[in-house]
Structure formats: structure tokens, C-alpha cells
Amino acid sequence: MDAKLLEILVCPVCKGPLHLDKARQELICRGDRLAFAIKDGIPVMLESEARELPADEEVGS
Ligand SMILES: [Zn+2]
């Protein structure tokens, strides 16, 4: 995924920065504990489509 694209993407919920989980191909909002899927290289920035991260899941670094 394009690093420049990642730079301009923010969480649709809190407008905060997102963390790219390369292994899962998800964009993570640590504040909201939401994971946004990247489908065919295109991030799905919809809160309704986001996966909620369980409290015990590692949120990468
Ligand atoms: Zn957020």
C-alpha cells in the first residue's frame, strides 16, 4: 500500500492517525481500537465495516 496514501488517511471516527498492520493488511486506530480492512489495496474507511479489536489483541508497533 502506498505510504503517501497512508499519510493522508485518518480515522473516520476520531480523525486521529492510523497504524498500518502489514501482516493483516489493516489500518488500525489505537484510540478507538478499530481495524479498517484494506481490500485490493484500497482502505475501507467505514466505521460500519471496521473490525473491533479485542482488548487483549496486540496493536502492533
Ligand atoms: Zn479513531
Q: Do residues 25 and 38 touch, judged by C-beta distance below 8 A?
A: yes
Helix H segments across the chain? Answer: 3-8
Q: What is the pLDDT of residue 40?
A: 92
Summarised one tens digit per residue, pLDDT across range 4-35 is 777 789 999 999 999 999 999 999 999 999 99
Going along the chain from its start, the domains and CATH numbers come out as: 3-52 (2.20.25.10)
Which pLDDT belongs to residue 7? 73
> What is the Å distance from ligand 1's center to 12 Cα?
7
* Distance from the alpha carbon of residue 42 to the mean position of ligand 1, in angstroms: 18
pLDDT the model gives residue 46 = 95
pLDDT tens digits along 44-61: 999 999 999 988 766 655
Q: How far, in Å, is the centroid of ligand 1 from the Cα of 56?
A: 18
